[in-house]
Amino acid sequence: MTDKSAVKLKEGIAYYDISPEITENTAVFPGDVAYSRRVSLDFEKGDALLLSSVESTLHLGAHVDSPGHYNRAGAGIEARNLNYYMGPCQVITVDLPRGERVYPKDISSQAIETQRVLFRTRSFPNPNSWNGDFNSLSAQLVDDLASKGVVLVGIDTPSIDPAEDKALEAHQAVYKNNLAVLEGIVLDAVPDGVYKLIALPLRLKGADASPVRAILCKE
Q: How many residues does the chain have?
A: 219
CA-to-CA separations, 152 to 46, 107, 115, 128, 170, in angstroms, rounded = 47, 16, 7, 25, 12
Neighbouring-strand partners of residue 41: 51
DSSP-derived letter for residue 24 is: T
Taking the C-alpha atoms of residue 167 and residue 169, their distance in angstroms, rounded to an integer, is: 5
Mean pLDDT calculated for residue range 138-163: 98
Catalytic residue among 59, 63, 69, 171: 69
Q: Please, which pLDDT band fits residue 12 given cuts at 50, 70 and 90?
A: confident
The model's pTM is 0.94
Q: Please, which pLDDT band fits residue 1 given cuts at 50, 70 and 90?
A: very low
171 is a catalytic site residue: no
pLDDT in tens, 124-140: 999 999 999 999 999 99
Mean pLDDT calculated for residue range 142-148: 98
Helix, coil or strand: residue 6: helix
